[in-house]
Structures are given as structure tokens and as C-alpha cells.
């Protein structure tokens, strides 16, 4: 099966969208942006064996590849529009391709995102680069650098679940409904696109959680040239995670695990504003700390646990994502 056949069979789907003037099959796609909006462009690569275990189902790999990119669009309060796919395949197994494309299109359909082009190539290992273009009202993109001293720090969902899901997937932990829940949080992350748009008018800065709550909050604080403090007893942990391990371990997954694709944001607005948004979207939004003036020391982020200073040692391993 050559690249043209792969594209024709698995990736060309009729789309009826006036914004797509030329879709798959030409040198490039021609797209008509809505007037008066900024564009948001994001790209993320998933390499088999690095970003997901090869045993993950092809449909989950397809879904996840789209979702992790949508999460970046969500963190900027964007609306997803168009996607291109650069697919490097170690072989062209029809069953894998059928599964992968079904997962990819499931995510695309859920978020009203059109696949408009791509490139298929062979390599020793399977790697998926997806690039998404979204848009947002002019000057309304939510960035990392807007946090101010006095803002509260909020997180959506329950961090730690996805990385615990990956760990149980890799360790072969016996499955039950709690374990399945955690695995699904890794395999099919919920990109918080609607939520990103809903919080935008109240939030001063936002980031999506890909490398772990601690590291990602640190990045937001550094980008904003401020410091912050989080209280670990406020970090929301899922019932499923708590059932599987003690609280110390659960916190380790939450702080350092990564792969959550939840949003972390800062705001001056009161908690009740976000309670209402949380209820509307059926996703918990929890205040876990606050933003302070720029620190004199090198630490942008400090932790307390039940009010006591808590030195968080993240293991020195930075995801080479």
C-alpha cells in the first residue's frame, strides 16, 4: 500500500465546510479564515514507545494524538478549526491504519475539527505529528504570561489519573472499573476546549498540563515573572486514584506524572465564578494556591502540605517530550 492509497483509503473524508477552499490532495490546503480573528497554531509529536506504549490500541493512539494538540488550543481559549497530519509509519498495517484513523476522526468530529492535509512517510518507528490551527477573537488568546500577584491558582479535573493509567497499562495491573477509568484518562484525554473558552474572560493566564502539575505551574509562573504557592491538600485527587494507592503516591502522580491535559490557570475572580462554570461543564475546577510577587530565591513555586512547608523533589527527570 503506497502513500496515495493510504491517504485515499484512510484519511480522505468528504467535508462540507466553506472555510476549506482546497482540502487533501493538492500541494497544500487553502483555508479561508474568519475576518477579525487571530490564529492559534500548535504542533505536537507522539513517538511510539516514547509518548505511548506500542500496545495502546490504534484508535486510542489516533484519538490521543489529536487530543493533546487540542489541549494546547484549549489552554489559549481557542476554537479548533483545521488539522494537518504528518504520519511516519514503521509499516503500513491496514488494521492499525483503520483503527488509528477511526480514533483520529472521532476526536476531530467531537471538536468540529477538519483534517485538511498531511504527509505520509516510512521510517523505523511510528511517529505522529499533528498540527492544529485554531482561532480566537483578536487579542483574546489566553497566554502563560499574564498571572499577577494576588491571583488564585486553579486546576481543572483531577491530575495524576492519566500518568497512573499509563503506569498500570505498562505494569499489567489487573483491570477493574477504577483501573479502566485511569487508563482511559491516559488513552483518551478530554481536551478542555469549551472550558478554555468559558474561563477566558476571567483568567489572567493559563497552561495545559502535559509535563506534570508542578512543572507546568512553574512554567506559567516563570513566564509571568511571579512566584506561587500551592497547598497540596487542596490538589483534587480522583476517587479512583485514591483507591489504587496511598495519598503520598497519588500526590506524586498528580504533581509529577504529566499527561493530564487538564488546564491550570490563574484568576482574580472569586471561586463562585468557576464553580458555576465547573457545574455547567461537569468538570471540577479547584483552587489550589495563589500567585505571589516574584521570588528572590530561584524557586518560582513553593508547596505546603496541610499548612506545613513541603519540599517537593521532582525527580530531576524532565520529559524529553
Q: Which residues in this chain contact a second copy in the complex, by CB under 8 A?
A: 2-4, 21-22, 25-33, 35, 38-45, 47, 49-51, 72-73, 75-76, 78, 82, 84-86, 88, 116-125, 127, 129, 131, 133-134, 136, 138-139, 141, 143-145, 206-208, 223, 318-321
Enter the C-alpha cell of residue 49.
514507545
Measured CA to CA in angstroms, residue 251 lies from 99, 124, 211, 257 at distances of 34, 37, 15, 9
For 113, residues 6+ apart whose C-beta sits below 8 A from its C-beta are 66, 70, 80, 81, 82, 83, 107, 132
Please answer whether residues 214 and 256 qualify as being in contact, where contact means their C-beta atoms are separated by less than 8 angstroms. yes
Residue 154 Cβ, how far from a second copy at the closest point, in Å? 16
CB of 242 to a second copy, least distance (A): 29
Taking the least distance from each CB to a second copy, the nearer of 49 and 270 is: 49
Question: Of the two residues 226 and 250, which places its CB atom closer to a second copy in the complex?
Answer: 226
SS3 (DSSP) at 155: strand
Residue carrying C-alpha cell 485511569? 182
- Give CA–CA dist 206/144, Å, rounded: 5
- The helix (H) or strand (E) run that includes residue 80 is strand 79-89
Question: At 247, phi and psi to the nearest 5?
Answer: -65, -35
Smallest gap from Cβ 220 to a second copy, in A, equals 10
Query: Residue 231's closest CA among 302, 174, 283?
Result: 302
Output the smallest distance, CB 298 to a second copy, in A.
15
What minimum distance in Å lies between the beta carbon of 4 and a second copy? 7
Partners of 44 in the beta sheet? 130
| Nearest approach, Cβ of residue 51 and a second copy (Å) | 7
CB of 116 to a second copy, least distance (A): 7
Residue 52 per-residue DSSP state: B
Between 84 and 221, whose beta carbon lies closer to a second copy? 84
DSSP state, 320?
-
Dihedral, CA of residue 171, residue 305, residue 308 and residue 207, to nearest 10: 100
Are 279 and 218 within 8 A, CB to CB? no
Amino acid at each position: 500500500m503506497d502513500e496515495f492509497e493510504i491517504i485515499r483509503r484512510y484519511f480522505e473524508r468528504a467535508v462540507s465546510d466553506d472555510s476549506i477552499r482546497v482540502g487533501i490532495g493538492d500541494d497544500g490546503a487553502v483555508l479561508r479564515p474568519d475576518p477579525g480573528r487571530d490564529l492559534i497554531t500548535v504542533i505536537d509529536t507522539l513517538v511510539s514507545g516514547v509518548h505511548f506504549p506500542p500496545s495502546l490500541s490504534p484508535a486510542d493512539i489516533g484519538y490521543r494524538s489529536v487530543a493533546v494538540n487540542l489541549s494546547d488550543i484549549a489552554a489559549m481559549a481557542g476554537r479548533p478549526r483545521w488539522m494537518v497530519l504528518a504520519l511516519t509509519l514503521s509499516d503500513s498495517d491496514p488494521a492499525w491504519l483503520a483503527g488509528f484513523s477511526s480514533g483520529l476522526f472521532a476526536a476531530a468530529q467531537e471538536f468540529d475539527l477538519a483534517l485538511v492535509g498531511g504527509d505520509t512517510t516510512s521510517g523505523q518507528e511510528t511517529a505522529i505529528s499533528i498540527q492544529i490551527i485554531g482561532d480566537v477573537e483578536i487579542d483574546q488568546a489566553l497566554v502563560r504570561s499574564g498571572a499577577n500577584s494576588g491571583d488564585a491558582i486553579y486546576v481543572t479535573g483531577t491530575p495524576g489519573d492519566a500518568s497512573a493509567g499509563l503506569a498500570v497499562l505498562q505494569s499489567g495491573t489487573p483491570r477493574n472499573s477504577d483501573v479502566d477509568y485511569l487508563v482511559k484518562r491516559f488513552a483518551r484525554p478530554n481536551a478542555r476546549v469549551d472550558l478554555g473558552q468559558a474561563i477566558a474572560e476571567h483568567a489572567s493566564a493559563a497552561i495545559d498540563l502535559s509535563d506534570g502539575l508542578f512543572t507546568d505551574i512553574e512554567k506559567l509562573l516563570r513566564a509571568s515573572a511571579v512566584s506561587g504557592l500551592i497547598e497540596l491538600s487542596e490538589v483534587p485527587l480522583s476517587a479512583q486514584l485514591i483507591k489504587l494507592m496511598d495519598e503520598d503516591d497519588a500526590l506524586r502522580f498528580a504533581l509529577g506524572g504529566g499527561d493530564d491535559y487538564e488546564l491550570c490557570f490563574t484568576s482574580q475572580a472569586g471561586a463562585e465564578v468557576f464553580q458555576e462554570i465547573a457545574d455547567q461543564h461537569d468538570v471540577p475546577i479547584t483552587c489550589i494556591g495563589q500567585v505571589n510577587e516574584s521570588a528572590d530565591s530561584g524557586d518560582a513555586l513553593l508547596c505546603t502540605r496541610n499548612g506545613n512547608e513541603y519540599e517537593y523533589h521532582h525527580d530531576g527527570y524532565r520529559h524529553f517530550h
